[in-house]
Amino acid sequence: MTNKIDLNDKIANMKEGILFKKEDMLVINEAANSIEYLENQNKLLKTKLRQLTDKYKDLENQYNKIWEENHNIRIVKKAGEIS
């Protein structure tokens, strides 16, 4: 069973001038790398979401235009019919 290291305590101790153990530094470096990775993932996902939202809006506009054209064609077609 491994003991969990409280990073807040370690950082507070660091500010007071107490040095970290080598294994503590590894944990802190891993945490920093994980944070950086997750921040990069967040940026990437925000960019992809923005791109997909723009594409969806474009497709929605195209659909509305086609629907309106279809509706107009039906109106014209019905106007030409003999009742």
pLDDT of residue 65: 96
- Please indicate, yes or no, if residue 52 is contained in any of the structural domains: yes
For residues 7 and 1, the answer to whether their CB atoms sit within 8 Å is no
> pTM of the entire structure?
0.56
Residue 63 has pLDDT above 90, yes or no: yes
Which pLDDT tens digit goes with each residue over 26-36? 888 888 899 99
Residue 6 has pLDDT above 90, yes or no: no
47: Cβ contacts below 8 Å, ≥ 6 apart: none
> Which domain, by its residues, includes 51?
7-79
Residue 17 has pLDDT above 60, yes or no: no
Q: How many domains does the chain have?
A: 1
As a whole number of angstroms, the distance between CA 36 and CA 66 comes to 45
- Please indicate, yes or no, if residue 57 is contained in any of the structural domains: yes
Which pLDDT tens digit goes with each residue over 44-58? 999 999 999 999 999
- Please indicate, yes or no, if residue 1 is contained in any of the structural domains: no
